[in-house]
């Protein structure tokens, strides 16, 4: 049974931007339509169901099945981490640093937003995406990633790459419970943490990097630890870039003697 209600009445009951965005999805209309046609009667059932999910803490991006990254829309669901604005700094750094025609691998691609954006912004590059999660690879394929390989880091490969890019799971395991509920309870745990210190995935990437240069997103307070890991693996730190809050967020590494 449908529950008919005007758009204005629905908006008045919830009074937040989430309901406006969900109305655009459910009605298949732009926000300007929702704001200008409040008298239109709609079936309120679908919007009420979506708002129940939102009020329970489910991320809006999972409910909408989409998010924006680097000016483009990407499909997301609970098989992948929701792309963050900070990761755009990783993409900007890669676009600026990677040499023409390079062979690039995105490790732990998740939604594929990094690999897909690099391929679009730098069509000269040969971009491959990999993830241990088959579900994540399905999402990355839907987002336009063309070359996808299921692999735990680079264990499935024998060839070398020129560059590695990665937003690895870098949160220390003990910090997971302190995260916001919509992150802790809904986003895939394997995309958030790789172990007690949060640097386990970074160490494994450096273990398997070969001669490739590496661009990594890192966590707050992780700079010194990653620098020590890099030195232990005979990498130079070529560049470190801060996010908008002034926190070191992206680091560029190269093997000693291979810059």
Based on the fold, state whether residues 144 and 210 are members of the same structural domain: yes
Average of per-residue pLDDT values in the chain:
95
Average pLDDT over residues 216-231: 95
**Residue 257's pLDDT is what?**
59
Number of residues written out for the chain? 259
Share of the chain above pLDDT 90, in %: 95
pLDDT digits (tens, 9 = 90+) for 94-127: 999 999 999 999 999 999 999 999 999 999 999 9
Binned at pLDDT 50, 70 and 90, residue 14 comes out as very high
Residues 6+ apart with CB under 8 A from 126: 101, 102, 103, 104
Examine the domain organization and report whether 201 and 141 are in the same domain: yes
Quote the pLDDT of residue 160: 86
Q: Quick one: pLDDT band at residue 128, thresholds 50, 70, 90? A: very high
Rg (CA), the chain: 21
Q: What gap in Å lies between CA 13 and CA 207, rounded to an integer?
A: 54
pLDDT for position 48: 96
Residue 33 domain flag: yes
The predicted structure's pLDDT at residue 159: 77
Residue 65: inside a domain, yes or no?
no
Are 18 and 134 in the same domain? no
Over residues 157-181, the pLDDT tens digits come to 877 899 999 999 999 999 999 999 9
Asked if the model's pLDDT at residue 258 lies above 80, the reply is no
Amino acid 2: pLDDT: 77
> Does 246 share its domain with 179?
yes
206 shares a domain with 112: yes
In a domain, 64, yes or no: no
Domain that holds residue 119: 71-255
Residue 62 lies in a domain: no
**Model confidence band, residue 3 (pLDDT cutoffs 50, 70, 90):** confident
Number of domains in the chain: 2
pLDDT, tens digit, 9 for 90 and up, residues 185-194 = 999 999 999 9
Residue 16 lies in a domain: yes
Residue 237 and residue 116 share a domain: yes
Residue 248 sits in the same domain as residue 156 = yes
Q: Using N-to-C axis directions, what is the helix angle for 113-121 and 86-97, rounded to 10°? A: 40
Position 66 in a domain:
no
| Residues pairing with 200 in the sheet | none
Residue (of 82, 141, 85, 130) closest to 104 by Cα position: 130
| Residues 140 and 238 both lie in one domain | yes
> What was the pLDDT predicted at 259?
52
49 and 140 in a common domain: no
Mark whether 45 and 120 lie in a shared domain: no
Do 129 and 198 belong to one domain? yes
Same domain, 82 and 140: yes
Instruction: Look at residue 20 and tell me if it is in a domain.
Output: yes
């Amino acid at each position: 049974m449908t529950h008919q209600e005007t758009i204005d009445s629905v908006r008045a009951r919830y009074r937040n931007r989430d309901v406006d965005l969900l109305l655009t999805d459910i009605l298949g209309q732009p926000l300007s339509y929702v704001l200008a046609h409040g008298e239109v009667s709609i079936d309120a059932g679908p919007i009420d169901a979506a708002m129940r999910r939102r009020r329970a803490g489910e991320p809006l991006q999972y409910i909408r099945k989409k998010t924006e990254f680097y000016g483009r829309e990407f499909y997301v669901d609970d098989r992948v981490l929701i792309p963050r604005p900070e990761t755009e700094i990783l993409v900007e750094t890669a676009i600026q640093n990677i040499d023409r025609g390079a062979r690039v691998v995105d490790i732990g691609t998740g939604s594929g937003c990094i690999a897909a954006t690099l391929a679009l912004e730098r069509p000269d590059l040969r971009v491959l995406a990999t993830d241990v999660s088959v579900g994540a690879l399905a999402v990355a394929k839907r987002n336009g990633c063309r070359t996808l390989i299921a692999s735990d880091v680079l264990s499935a490969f024998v060839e070398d790459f020129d560059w590695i890019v990665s937003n690895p799971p870098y949160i220390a395991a003990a910090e997971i419970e302190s995260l916001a509920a919509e992150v802790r309870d809904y986003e895939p745990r394997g995309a958030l943490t790789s172990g007690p210190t949060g640097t386990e995935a970074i160490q494994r990437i450096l273990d398997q990097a070969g001669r490739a240069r590496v661009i990594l997103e890192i966590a707050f307070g992780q700079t010194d630890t990653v620098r020590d890991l890099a030195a232990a693996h005979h990498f130079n730190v070529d560049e470190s870039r801060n996010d908008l809050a002034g926190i070191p967020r992206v680091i560029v590494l190269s093997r000693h003697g291979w810059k």
